[in-house]
């Protein structure tokens, strides 16, 4: 069974960039959680990433409340907004960064405000659909891997088949059919992204069920349910956490792709992809600030989730070594 | 070898059947049922009566299984993918008009990827942990974290509006052979698509070659006094070719997905733009047809990769015959 190209390639990328960490020697004593935090803290890059993601989430939750009428309720165009004092003819409201608007304006809205406002939807859909992806993929993969035999063969053929439909086309097809509301997008992105996770979890379960402690549990008469919940699931945690952070990054990128194609959320709701799409037509006229800040945000966010996932994997592995 | 190919062909056909079953069944779950597109097609003329008539005209009064059989019959035996709801054309007509454009884009990107990523990966592996290696890794990771449309827009800014002035749009709405008579317009789109896949494939190549370089036969070759170049290209490259071919086959869905985004950014009318337009206008047969077609191309790509793998690696042939 070949892994999908994405997983393999990503594993290569991660192992290449975060090559020197020296984790595994610092666990020491304390409760499990303290040990894990100590290992996580060791990775400065992951710590910075965590700070960035937390600031982004806090900003998305809190910031729109400060600008209630402007960005939250229905995001109406505020005529008193200084964005409209732009000198660009024909494109009023797309002003370059200034002391008043640190990242400039996009069509009448302050970019920072828009970033945080649309972050609510992007992050919300991202996290929720990552949860959907993970629960589907983990259940499916564990069943397939643990029960094995004919069921495994059939389930894995289904995954192979779904993986042979290009993801973006499948996504577009389902969006046509189920609409573009917050809930529909969450479900659609969640349901089209779990195939890789299922494969990964199947492989992990297959290797875990051959371990001695599972054999011991079977000998002691543990039920299948108990073995899955108490023995296999906790030990697959590090893989799950890594897969989860990647699922989050993938979901947010997928949402951005959809938004950029004009199939994302509809105003007054925005996501980061829709924001880029709105900025893109003025960008072609030389308004660089409509794209650059969002680009930086995207890259930083996806890199951050990958680094955090990597550090968390280390933390979980150390916990396992200690036991 | 012949039995191997025949077996893989039968497998691919079965997978294709299931893909068609899934894509055919999905519209039954859309909001408003399979008659939902009627409201979009008929517009202001939609009422209970006209919608019913529209449904009968499109064979929607038949039961599910009979409809699926009719669909299969038409697709498999008559190569008829249906008739577009919105454009006055058969889906096959739309596809035959636009498929050469997309395939040209994707194929040239694939060829360029192989030409760039393979040597890059080998050199990175040969000069492991050098400055060059670290730089290439960093760039690859950066490209990987970036949504594809952002890369396109940044390329546009630098190479079309900025430092040099390449055409921002390939020749459109002309005969497909414009790709040979006016190749300058294709530089940017093909470069974007290539960069995106080079990021992943070169990393994978580096990993594979590193794995091969520690094998005994490489040490033997060095001990015999073979030059570094001969070791790399004769021994390492040949043995690394197997996994790379598989990954290239598996990366086809991503390539088609990437082509979709790139067509949208560069305003190049190919399959991708048609899919998005059909999606926005609820043109279900067109989206279904294109999805099935792209799946067929992906399956064929995987099949070719497997056959090629059997050709370069005799062990696989033997395994298949004895299995």
pLDDT band at residue A134 under the 50/70/90 scheme: very high
pLDDT for res A126 = 92
- Chain B nearest-CA distance from A10, in A, is 8
The pLDDT tens digits of the residues spanning A180-214 come to 888 888 988 998 888 888 988 888 888 888 888 88
Q: Which residues contact A103 (CB under 8 A, 6 or more apart)?
A: A97, A110, A111, A112, A115, A289, A293
Q: How far apart are CA B38 and CA B60, in angstroms?
A: 11
pLDDT for res A12 = 53
Give the closest of A4, A17, A298 to B150, CB-based. Answer: A298
**Interface touch A263/B161, C-beta < 8 Å:** no
Query: Closest Cα partner for B213 from B114, B127, B322?
Result: B127
Cα separation values, A52 from A55, A222, A246, A305, B188, Å: 5, 44, 17, 10, 33
Beta carbons of A109 and A165 less than 8 angstroms apart: no
ipTM: 0.75
For residues A184-217, one letter each, b for 16 or more C-beta atoms within 10 angstroms of the residue's C-beta and e for the rest, the string is bbbbbbbbbbbbbbbbbbbbbbbebbeeeebeeb
B260 touches chain A (CB under 8 A): yes
pLDDT for res A253 = 86
Q: Which residues contact B52 (CB under 8 A, 6 or more apart)?
A: none
pLDDT for res A28 = 58
Fold classification of B99-269 (topology level): MetI-like fold (1.10.3720)
Query: Closest Cα partner for A286 from A130, A94, A83?
Result: A94
Nearest residue in A to B24, CA atom: A173
- Averaged pLDDT for residues A126-147: 91
Residue numbers in A near B294 (CB within 8 A): 165-166, 169
Nearest residue in B to A180, CA atom: B280
Residue A219, pLDDT > 80, answer yes
- Averaged pLDDT for residues A56-79: 59
Residue numbers in A near B141 (CB within 8 A): 13, 16-17, 303
Radius of gyration (Cα) for chain A, nearest Å? 23
Answer yes or no: is A5 within a domain: no
pLDDT band at residue A73 under the 50/70/90 scheme: very low
Residue numbers in B near A280 (CB within 8 A): 153, 265
Residue A295 is part of which domain span? Answer: 52-74+101-321
pLDDT for res A305 = 87
**Interface touch A172/B207, C-beta < 8 Å:** no
Strand partners, B195: none
* Structure token digits, residue B63: 């039961």
Answer yes or no: is A249 within a domain: yes
Q: How far apart are CA A130 and CA A182, in angstroms?
A: 14
Residue labelled with tokens 């793998």: B309
Residue numbers in A near B206 (CB within 8 A): 12, 16
- Chain A nearest-CA distance from B105, in A, is 16
Give the closest of B31, B203, B252 to A13, CB-based. Answer: B203
Residue numbers in B near A303 (CB within 8 A): 141, 145
Residue pairs between chains A and B whose CB atoms are closer than 8 Å: 174
Domain segments of chain B as ranges: 2-90, 99-269
For residues B74-91, one letter each, b for 16 or more C-beta atoms within 10 angstroms of the residue's C-beta and e for the rest, the string is ebeeeeebbbbbbbeebb
DSSP class of residue A74 equals S
pLDDT for res A22 = 42
Residue A129, pLDDT > 90, answer yes
Split into its structural domains, chain A has a count of 1
Give the count of beta carbons closer than 10 Å to the beta carbon of residue B174: 11
Q: How far apart are CA B87 and CA A171, in angstroms?
A: 22
Where is A105: in which H helix or E strand?
Answer: strand A105-106
pLDDT band at residue A78 under the 50/70/90 scheme: very low
| pLDDT < 70: residue spans in chain B | 173-176, 313-323
Q: How far apart are CA B91 and CA B286, in angstroms?
A: 5
- Chain A nearest-CA distance from B320, in A, is 14
SS (H, E, C) B252-281: HHHHHHHHHHHHHHHCCCCHHHHHHHHHHC
- Chain B nearest-CA distance from A214, in A, is 30
Q: How far apart are CA A64 and CA B176, in angstroms?
A: 49
Residue A36, pLDDT > 60, answer yes
- Chain B nearest-CA distance from A213, in A, is 32
**Interface touch B31/A177, C-beta < 8 Å:** yes
pLDDT for res A8 = 52
Beta carbons of B239 and B212 less than 8 angstroms apart: yes
Return the top range by mean pLDDT from A154-158, A303-307, B111-115, B238-242: B111-115
- Chain A nearest-CA distance from B181, in A, is 26
Nearest residue in B to A168, CA atom: B257
Give the closest of A9, A172, A253 to B203, CB-based. Answer: A9
* Structure token digits, residue A111: 């970019």
**Interface touch B291/A4, C-beta < 8 Å:** no
The pLDDT tens digits of the residues spanning B135-144 come to 888 888 788 7
Residue A130, pLDDT > 90, answer yes
SS (H, E, C) chain B: CHHHHHHHHHHHHHHHHHHHHHHHHHHHHCCCCCCHHHHHHHHHHCCHHHHHHHHHHCCCCCCHHHHHHHHHHHHHHHCCCCECCCCCCEHHHHHHHHHHHHHHHHHHHHHHHHHHHHHHHHHHHHCCCCHHHHHHHHHHHHHHHCCHHHHHHHHHHHHCCCCCCCCCCCCCCCCCCHHHHCHHHHHHHHHHHHHHHHHHHHHHHHHHHHHHHCCHHHHHHHHCCCCHHHHHHHHHHHHHHHHHHHHHHHCHHHHHHHHHHHHHHHCCCCHHHHHHHHHHCCCHHHHHHHHHHHHHHHHHHHHHHHHHHHHHCHHHHHHHHHC
CATH number, domain of A258, equals 1.10.3720.10
Answer yes or no: is A41 within a domain: no
């Amino acid at each position: 069974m070949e892994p999908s190209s994405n997983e393999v390639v990503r594993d290569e990328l991660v192992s290449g960039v975060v090559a020197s960490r020296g984790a595994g020697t610092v666990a020491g004593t304390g409760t499990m959680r303290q040990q894990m935090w100590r290992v996580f803290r060791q990775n400065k890059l992951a710590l910075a990433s965590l700070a960035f993601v937390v600031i982004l989430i806090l900003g998305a939750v809190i910031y729109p409340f400060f600008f209630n009428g402007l960005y939250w309720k229905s995001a109406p165009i505020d005529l008193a907004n200084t964005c409209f004092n732009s000198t660009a003819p024909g494109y009023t409201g797309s002003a370059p960064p200034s002391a008043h608007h640190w990242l400039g304006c996009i069509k009448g809205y302050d970019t920072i405000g828009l970033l945080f406002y649309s972050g609510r939807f992007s992050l919300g859909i991202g996290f929720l659909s990552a949860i959907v992806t993970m629960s589907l993929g983990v259940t499916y993969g564990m069943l397939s891997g643990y029960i094995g035999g004919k069921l495994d063969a059939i389930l894995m053929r289904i995954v192979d088949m779904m993986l042979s439909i290009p993801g973006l086309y499948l996504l577009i097809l389902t969006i046509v059919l189920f609409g573009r509301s917050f809930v529909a997008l969450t479900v659609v992105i969640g349901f089209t992204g779990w195939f890789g996770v299922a494969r990964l979890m199947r492989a992990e379960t297959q290797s875990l069920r051959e371990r001695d402690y599972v054999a011991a549990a079977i000998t002691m008469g543990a039920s299948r349910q108990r073995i899955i919940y108490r023995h296999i699931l906790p030990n697959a945690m590090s893989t799950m956490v890594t897969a989860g952070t990647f699922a989050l990054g993938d979901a947010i990128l997928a949402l951005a792709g959809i938004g950029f194609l004009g199939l994302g959320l509809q105003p007054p709701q925005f996501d980061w992809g829709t924001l880029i799409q709105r900025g893109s037509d003025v960008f072609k006229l030389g308004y660089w600030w409509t794209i650059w800040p969002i680009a930086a945000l995207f890259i930083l966010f996806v890199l951050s989730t990958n680094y955090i996932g990597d550090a968390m994997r280390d933390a979980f592995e150390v916990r396992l070594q200690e036991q | 070898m012949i039995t191997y190919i025949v077996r893989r062909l039968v497998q691919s056909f079965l997978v294709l059947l299931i893909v068609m079953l899934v894509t055919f069944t999905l519209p039954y779950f859309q909001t408003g049922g399979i008659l939902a597109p009627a409201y979009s097609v008929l517009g202001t003329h939609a009422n209970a009566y006209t919608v019913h008539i529209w449904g009968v005209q499109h064979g929607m009064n038949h039961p599910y299984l009979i409809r699926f059989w009719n669909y299969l019959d038409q697709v498999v035996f008559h190569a008829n993918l249906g008739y577009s709801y919105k454009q006055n054309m058969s889906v096959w007509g739309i596809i035959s008009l636009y498929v050469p454009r997309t395939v040209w884009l994707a194929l040239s990107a694939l060829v360029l990827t192989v030409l760039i990523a393979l040597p890059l990966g080998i050199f990175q592996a040969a000069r492991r942990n050098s400055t060059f290696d670290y730089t290439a890794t960093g760039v690859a990771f950066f490209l990987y974290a970036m949504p594809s449309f952002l890369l396109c827009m940044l390329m546009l800014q630098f190479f079309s509006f900025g430092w040099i002035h390449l055409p921002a749009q390939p020749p459109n709405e002309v005969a497909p052979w414009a790709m040979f008579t006016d190749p300058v317009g294709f530089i940017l789109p093909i470069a974007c698509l290539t960069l995106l896949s080079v990021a992943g494939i070169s990393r994978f190549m580096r990993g594979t070659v590193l794995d091969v370089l520690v094998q005994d036969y490489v040490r033997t070759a060095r001990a015999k006094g073979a030059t570094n170049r001969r070791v790399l290209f004769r021994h390492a490259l040949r043995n690394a070719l197997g996994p790379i071919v598989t990954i290239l086959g598996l990366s086809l869905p991503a390539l088609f997905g990437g082509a979709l985004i790139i067509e949208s950014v560069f305003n190049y009318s190919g399959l991708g733009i048609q899919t998005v337009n059909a999606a926005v206008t609820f043109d279900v047969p067109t989206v279904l047809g294109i999805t099935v077609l792209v799946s067929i191309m992906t399956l064929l790509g995987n099949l070719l990769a497997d056959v090629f793998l059997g050709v370069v690696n005799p062990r696989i042939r033997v395994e298949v015959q004895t299995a």
